[in-house]
Amino acid sequence: MHVREKRKVSNTGKIAALCLNNSQIIYRGEKYPTTDISNLISADHINLLLYPDSTMELNTALIKSFDKPINLIALDGNYNQAGKMFRSETVLQNAIKVRLPYGQIRKDKLRSTLYPEQISTIEAIINSLEIIGDTKANEHMEYLFNEMTLRLKKRGQNV
């Protein structure tokens, strides 16, 4: 997660990390980073990096071609921040860059974007888990995300 995302109330990457047993947030973009990310890439897994600029699409055919479990890495930040994190962290160069299929439509209507296909971090992870086939985690996160957006919308209407 880019350090500038840390304090944003609308940050869904934090919520995604809370939903998943096997996840962690590592902050980047600090002047003097204190967290070692050398163990982010696992030799026992296929390391997939969600990256919207990738030419490789994350789909079931790709998933079926792997013979190891998947380690999914999601960069949390705006487009420029994600690009800088990828370029500055050499360990990420060892991951396979994948993007979600085109046509993913934003469900989170709480923030405005220029393009409806610019989805939040939690939505990207939810959609990725669905493709990967982790239905339990996918359903759990989808439920929590829907509850969160519903409650925030209600709260906004009452203000």
pLDDT tens digits along 111-144 = 666 766 678 888 889 999 999 998 888 888 888 8
pLDDT at site 59: 96
pTM over 0.85: no
The CA-based angle 25-30-32, given to 5 degrees, is 115
pLDDT band at 109 (very low <50, low <70, confident <90, very high): low
Beta bridge partners of 28: 2
For the chain, the first-to-last Cα distance in angstroms comes to 30
Please give the tally of structural domains in the chain: 1
Long-range Cβ contacts of 27-32 (<8 Å, 24+ apart): 27/1, 27/2, 27/3, 28/1, 28/2, 28/3, 28/85, 28/88, 28/89, 29/2, 29/3, 29/4, 29/77, 29/81, 29/84, 29/85, 30/3
Band of residue 6 on the pLDDT scale cut at 50, 70, 90 = confident
pLDDT tens for each residue of 20-45 = 888 888 877 777 766 777 788 899 99
* pLDDT value of position 110: 58
Which range marks the domain in which residue 53 is found?
3-158
User: What per-residue confidence (pLDDT) applies to 36?
Assistant: 73
Query: What is the distance between the alpha carbons of residues 48 and 55, in angstroms, rounded to a whole number?
Result: 13
Percent of the chain residues topping a pLDDT of 90:
26
According to DSSP, the residues that pair with 97 across neighbouring strands are 49
